[in-house]
Amino acid sequence: MSTGATCKATEPVSVFLVEDQPRLLRTLEKYLSTQEGITVAGSAMSAEEALEAIPETGAQVVLLDLELPGMDGLAFLKIFKPRHPQIEVLILTTFDDETKVYQAVRAGAAGYLVKRIAHEKIAAAIHEVWDGGTVIEARIARRFWNYFQSVKSSTREETRHGLTEVEIEILLFLGKGLSNAEVGDVMSMGRRTVRSHLSHIYRKLGVSTHVEAVVEALRLGLIDL
């Protein structure tokens, strides 16, 4: 599943890598350094080191492994995202189970990829999350949504939690994988209008990403996929 994108900037995206396997870390650094539109701001082999280093680098996206020595990636997310909500976090890990995806998304991750994915897809995902989208690798996206359906609240609430009909419709389209531009086309509204509605949705639901908003709307019974 991939949702969304409104371009934040034309400057290269600055990426910080958090990976404890030296060989893979070197491979990723070498590859990403050659990609147009991406710069490597730095790297760390532990979550503790990353927490200290990232703010000094100006990184815009963190490529994060979940399996780390000491503090794991999920614990890192829970500390890091509240401190730096403007920095996007893209998971790259060996875990391909839907429960890990759910936990990472709830903790603020903007994307989730499984290792052994083609390097060019990692580069594309970095741009996607920085442009405001959310990326969940296709082979686990369906299992993630099926899992979420099984854990969401079994009772529907009558209230819409302050959301308008238009905002609920936007959430439904996002949940089906449409980008911001595609939502605008379907609903005959400009991209700026879609973004404005999204900011209202985020505030009302207490979330900060597309996928968090869809997850929360599903949990509350506001939409069905």
Q: Where are the domains of the chain?
A: 2-146, 156-219
pLDDT at site 99 = 77
Query: How many whole angstroms separate alpha carbon 224 and alpha carbon 16?
Result: 36
**Fold for the domain defined by 156-219:** Arc Repressor Mutant, subunit A (1.10.10)
pLDDT at site 120 = 92
22 in Cβ contact with 30 (< 8 Å): no
1 in Cβ contact with 111 (< 8 Å): no
pLDDT at site 132 = 82
pLDDT at site 5 = 44
Query: How many whole angstroms separate alpha carbon 25 and alpha carbon 10?
Result: 26
33: closest CA among 16, 51, 8, 9?
16
pTM of the model: 0.65
**Fold for the domain defined by 2-146:** Rossmann fold (3.40.50)
108 in Cβ contact with 43 (< 8 Å): no
83: closest CA among 60, 51, 59, 61?
51
pLDDT at site 77 = 93
pLDDT at site 67 = 92
Residue owning tokens 């959301």: 163
* Residue 64: CA count within 13 A, CB half-sphere: 35
146 in Cβ contact with 32 (< 8 Å): no
Helix (H) or strand (E) holding 17: strand 13-18
Query: How many whole angstroms separate alpha carbon 130 and alpha carbon 60?
Result: 7
pLDDT at site 148 = 62
> Which runs of E-coded beta strand occur in 45-169?
61-64, 88-93, 111-114, 134-136
pLDDT, averaged in runs of 10, over the chain (225 residues): 48 96 96 95 97 95 95 94 92 83 85 89 93 78 64 49 88 84 86 88 88 86 79
